[in-house]
Structure 1
Amino acid sequence: AAVKRGIPVLGICRGEQLMAVAFGGSLWQDIPAQIPESYVKHRQGETTGSYGTHSITIEKGSFLEKALGTRKTQVNSFHHQAIKDVPQGFKVIARSADGIVEGVERVEPLKNYPDGGGMIIATQFHPEVLVTGRDKSFRGIFEMLVKEAAKTK
C-alpha cells in the first residue's frame, strides 16, 4: 500500500528478502549450504548487534553512500538467507566481501504503480540496532527516509 501511495519504504533484514521476492527476485535459502565458499560469518550469534562484525562495500552515488557518508562500513549480521536474483528495476547498492547482497534500492519506475511507486530501499543488516552502538552514522538512513517521506502528499 505504501509503495502504491508513493510513500518511501525501508526493508530491514527479512524485509529486504520479502521485498526482493514480492517484486520478482529470489533468495538463497541457506547461505552456508548453498554457497559453501562464503567466508563471511553472516550470523554473528547471541549479541546485541550494536556493533559491526563484517564489512560491506557501498555503491558510489547510492542512497546508502549519501546516508552514511562512506563507501565502506562495518555492519551487524543475523541471517542465513540473502537475495540471489535482484528484482527487475532494483540495483544492488551494498555487498559483503563474499559477494552477498547487503543492500538494494529501486532505480526504475514500477509497472502498474501510480508515478512508478515511491522510494524503496532495503538492507540485510539492522541499522536500527547499529544506531544504539558507537557508530551514529547509521542515523543518516532514517533521517533521509524521513526527509523523503515529508515530500509525499
Structure 2
Amino acid sequence: MIKNRKVRAMQKLLIINNEKDRDDIGWIPQIKKAVSAVENVEFAVIHHSEASKDTLDDINPDLIYLTGRATYDWTIDEILKDYTSIINMLQYTEIPTLGVCAGHELMAIAYGGSFGKMIETEKGKEDVREKGFHKIDVTKETPLFKGLGSHFHCYQDHRDEVKNVPDTFELLASNDMCKIQSIKHREKEFYGVQFHPEQYTEDYPDGKIILQNFLTLK
C-alpha cells in the first residue's frame, strides 16, 4: 500500500496500455480525449509489461485506468505468460483502478476469476461479438454508476467475458448477452467494466458520467 502520498492540485491518471505490442497505442488517444473532456488531469502512460511496485512508486498516480485491447484477441495462456506484472500489481496496489474490457478481465483473473468466449462457435466460424451501444442493467447501486438510474447504455466491442465473479468482488451490472458487465472489489476501489465508457457520444452520454464518477473517487 502506498501511504503519505503528496496532495496535488491536479489528479494524475496512470493509463496502463494492455495492447500486446509496446508500439501499439490502441485505445489511448480516445481515452485521453474522453477523460480530458470531463476533467483536467495529468496523464502518465506505460505498457503493461512495465507495471511494478517501483513504477507505481515513481509515478505516484491518484487513479489507474487499465485499457482494453483493440488489436488482438487473446487466450488465458498468453495472459498467464505475458501479463503477470499486471496481475501482481492488482493484487498488491490500493490505488483506485478502473479496468476496461481486457482490463476488466485481467482484474477478475487476478483474484481467481476466469474468462472465455461469450458464445462458443464452430471451428472455422467467426466469433460472436457484442459490438455497438447496448443497454446494461444495474444490479447494485455504486458510486461508479451514480446518476444513471436502473440502466444505462455504453459502447461494447468484445467476444470474451468474465465467467465468474471472484469471491472478493460483487456484481454491479449485467445484460442478456454478457451477464458480468461490471464488478467491484468488496474492500478496494477496484471497478471492472466489460464495456468502453471512453466511447461516449452526444446520443449515448452515459460513459461520460461513468468517467466523471471514477475521476471523483479520490
In structure 1, distance between residues paired with 2:141 and 2:165: 19
**When the two structures are aligned, how many residues end up with a matched partner?**
124
Matched residue, 2:192: 122
In structure 2, distance between residues paired with 1:92 and 1:134: 27
Identity among equivalent pairs (%): 26
Say if 1:96 and 1:102, in contact at 8 Å, map to a contact too. Answer: yes
**How far does the alpha carbon of each residue in 1:57-102 deviate from its partner, in whole angstroms, 9 at most, with x for none?**
1124223431x42111222221111011111110111111245211
Say if 1:8 and 1:120, in contact at 8 Å, map to a contact too. Answer: yes
Matched residue, 2:118: 31
**TM-aligned CA deviation for residue 13 of structure 1:** 0.5
**TM-aligned CA deviation for residue 133 of structure 1:** 4.0
From 159, 166, 172, the equivalent of 1:93 is: 172
Say if 1:58 and 1:64, in contact at 8 Å, map to a contact too. Answer: no
Instruction: Report the CA distance shift for 1:78/1:137 in structure 2 as closer, same or farther (over 3 A).
Output: closer
Say if 1:42 and 1:78, in contact at 8 Å, map to a contact too. Answer: yes
In structure 2, distance between residues paired with 1:141 and 1:74: 11
Matched residue, 1:113: none
From 45, 48, 62, the equivalent of 2:142 is: 62
Say if 2:145 and 2:213, in contact at 8 Å, map to a contact too. Answer: no
Matched residue, 1:13: 101
Matched residue, 1:37: none
Give TM-score, length-normalised by structure 1.
Answer: 0.69
In structure 1, distance between residues paired with 2:130 and 2:177: 14
- Unmatched 5+ residue regions in structure 1? 35-40, 110-117
**How far does the alpha carbon of each residue in 1:14-33 deviate from its partner, in whole angstroms, 9 at most, with x for none?**
11011100111111x22221
Amino acid at match of 2:212: E
SS of residue in 2 equivalent to 1:18: helix
Amino acid at match of 2:139: E
In structure 2, distance between residues paired with 1:119 and 1:26: 21
State yes or no: 1:135 paired with 2:204: yes
In structure 1, distance between residues paired with 2:143 and 2:203: 22
In structure 2, distance between residues paired with 1:103 and 1:148: 17
Q: Name the structure, 1 or 2, with higher relative contact order (CA <8 Å, separation 6+).
A: 1
CA RMSD across the alignment: 2.3
- Unmatched 5+ residue regions in structure 2? 1-52, 54-63, 65-89, 122-127
Give TM-score, length-normalised by structure 2.
Answer: 0.50
In structure 2, distance between residues paired with 1:5 and 1:24: 16
